[in-house]
Structure 1
């Protein structure tokens, strides 16, 4: 499949083309972290359980989509790490790796003999990214998962509509946050290795990542003495900042500056609102937020969404359609940025599909799609020969 790098980056090798990464991950967090590195050219080998592989492979249609989207650009090696031969083969891969990524349960790597202290004895330059639910401490032994982190961090408390039960974000945001912070740590550890020649352990954790994203609300709670309520699509700092229903769909508009307000009124034809004393200043609009929303919503319900969006975009007022996932297929903005990855998932009847590449773009580099997601153990013989190990692997389960 041809590279999807930008023209500027196509003339040079991918930025991570000299990096060897092993990933022993399941579901989202570990695979998402290694997918970022893979999109930027790293050679990523996914180590999977013989037979079944990553547990998300067998989790229904949604699970198959998750696997396909997060495991492009990787090769798969099937190893039974509870067998002596499987563990020895894994060690042979570690000896030549730069980065190892795992998101197994707390204590599982150590029981398998692949904890950080085990692997640093084999490769002192190894950067070891461990993704867990929590940092060590009072929560360290708890089972971690995305919704646990969203709940404990307060993220769920501000998500959803006032007066209704808390809800999770509609994607695995805490898993992905831990992966992003973990990859940031990997880059810093590699930079440190350039100076010292030594690798190190890096932690990526779900709870602390989500808590960091709640940082300004935590500060607000401390200063004000009370917690923020669920926000819906609005924000208390602005008087007109919300989602509106039109005759043919939903859209968002955000009036956040003194320039936006008159531009909004003129673009939408609601010029009488400029003369309404309830909405004269930003403070007035905040104080009368509910009344302003009601007036604007009543007007927009019979209007064309596309016409409103065109007018607001022409006036440089922040506005956007509320898209669903199908609207992102073949999206012209993602296409123009060279961020749409097209590939074929595993399976005999699979057809070409799409996802979005890691949006890490520089003047001389960018992400690319170059390898479809692998079948379980599809590259075992190839990778073991390449890394210098020829031990044959018997089939068998791996807990």
Structure 2
């Protein structure tokens, strides 16, 4: 099938005036798929430019991970001239992504809906901690604080560790993904109506949205979920196990998979044992089952076993390091690592489109010299 080099969002112009991660990752996704993205920074630049070492070329590795396929402009938005230039850029923009403080917008004489009132076709994507109203409206927020506030930390870890943060900025990342979904929905609506709109997504809402299956379990039982470590609260065996050469993760989702797994390990009696014959019984009797499986798995070559189990239809994987995952042959086969000029290396878009694939055109921009004020 013939591909188009411009990308699915070719012709869409995005002003990315956000900083840190939630907004910038949204801008990067739009840029990967063909949008022209202009990153607007203040004189000091995005905070994450200083979030190093390590560095990739001139930028911190952290900044580089969320800002490719963008052109850079530096404006002093605290000045009248800087704001005038910024608003001039919005005249030709399709999308604005920003995470300005409420106090900053008020200082400029703008309420949250002010951008779309001034530019009716603009899709204004606002990323914030809590939104502008409510008990926490307008307050600052960072990823890990949201993990704590919204219960994610309480179900991560186990009784020996206490609450743990997820080891990556999952709230910021999902906020960026939902920001993109909102922008695309608003652009589709604009095709029909000719009107832009305000798209708002908050770290708080995104953190709560990830509480599956813990929230539905709570709604069903009224019992507050407890941490289960690597084990799934509803399914078993869905847990990590030590082997002769490292841990594997076994993800058995149904009775047929459990039967295949037991036959491979020579545990043919387990599927007919009333304690383990169905998922509900296995989940209730997980401590006894875990002890049996740990004994059977301990002498196995974990990596070979995991691949063998996958091939016979049992979801399983070795517990890899980040280096293992990035160097995995399937990662190379799928083209999931991108290399560009300026020593840039990053992760490719996970979205595969047959006619309009993602393209990687620009390394993350260096902080541009600020445009001089007119005398």
Q: Could you say whether these structures have the same fold, taking a TM-score greater than 0.5 normalized by the shorter chain as the test? A: yes
Deviation larger for 109-118 or 235-244: 109-118
Aligned partner of 2:24 in structure 1 is 31
Aligned partner of 2:79 in structure 1 is 83
Aligned residues: 369
Q: Which stretches in structure 2 are left out of the alignment for 5+ residues?
A: none
Aligned partner of 1:156 in structure 2 is 153
* Equivalent pair of 2:303/2:317 in contact (CA under 8 Å): no
CA deviations 1:338-361 (Å, max 9, x no partner) are 33222345xxxxx342x2223222
Aligned partner of 1:178 in structure 2 is 175
Using the TM superposition, give the Cα deviation of residue 96 of structure 1 relative to its aligned residue in structure 2, in angstroms. Answer: 0.8
Query: Cα gap change, 1:88/1:206 in structure 2, threshold over 3 Å: closer, same or farther?
Result: same
Residue from 278, 283, 289 that aligns with 2:280: 283
CA deviations 1:128-176 (Å, max 9, x no partner) are 1110111321221322111222122221111111343211111111111
Distance 1:362 1:393 in 2: 42
* Equivalent pair of 1:106/1:132 in contact (CA under 8 Å): no
CA deviations 1:44-90 (Å, max 9, x no partner) are 0000122x311111122258112111111111101111223222221
* Equivalent pair of 1:9/1:365 in contact (CA under 8 Å): no
Deviation larger for 238-247 or 263-272: 263-272
Using the TM superposition, give the Cα deviation of residue 17 of structure 1 relative to its aligned residue in structure 2, in angstroms. Answer: 1.0
Residue from 346, 370, 373 that aligns with 2:361: 370
Distance 1:232 1:9 in 2: 47
Query: Cα gap change, 1:88/1:281 in structure 2, threshold over 3 Å: closer, same or farther?
Result: closer
Distance 1:158 1:217 in 2: 8
- Give the TM-score, by structure 2 length: 0.91
* Equivalent pair of 1:19/1:98 in contact (CA under 8 Å): yes
Using the TM superposition, give the Cα deviation of residue 104 of structure 1 relative to its aligned residue in structure 2, in angstroms. Answer: 2.7
Query: Cα gap change, 1:265/1:290 in structure 2, threshold over 3 Å: closer, same or farther?
Result: same
Aligned partner of 2:116 in structure 1 is 120
Aligned partner of 1:260 in structure 2 is 257
* Equivalent pair of 2:251/2:316 in contact (CA under 8 Å): yes
Structure with the larger RCO, 1 or 2 (CA within 8 Å, 6+ apart): 1
Query: Cα gap change, 1:106/1:122 in structure 2, threshold over 3 Å: closer, same or farther?
Result: closer
Does residue 71 of the first structure (1) align with residue 67 of the second (2)? yes
Does residue 57 of the first structure (1) align with residue 53 of the second (2)? no
Using the TM superposition, give the Cα deviation of residue 240 of structure 1 relative to its aligned residue in structure 2, in angstroms. Answer: 0.9
Residue from 13, 33, 54 that aligns with 2:6: 13
Query: Cα gap change, 1:122/1:286 in structure 2, threshold over 3 Å: closer, same or farther?
Result: closer
Distance 2:65 2:178 in 1: 20
Aligned-CA RMSD value: 2.3
- Give the TM-score, by structure 1 length: 0.86
Query: Cα gap change, 1:167/1:105 in structure 2, threshold over 3 Å: closer, same or farther?
Result: farther
Query: Cα gap change, 1:114/1:341 in structure 2, threshold over 3 Å: closer, same or farther?
Result: farther
Q: Which stretches in structure 1 are left out of the alignment for 5+ residues?
A: 1-7, 346-350, 381-391
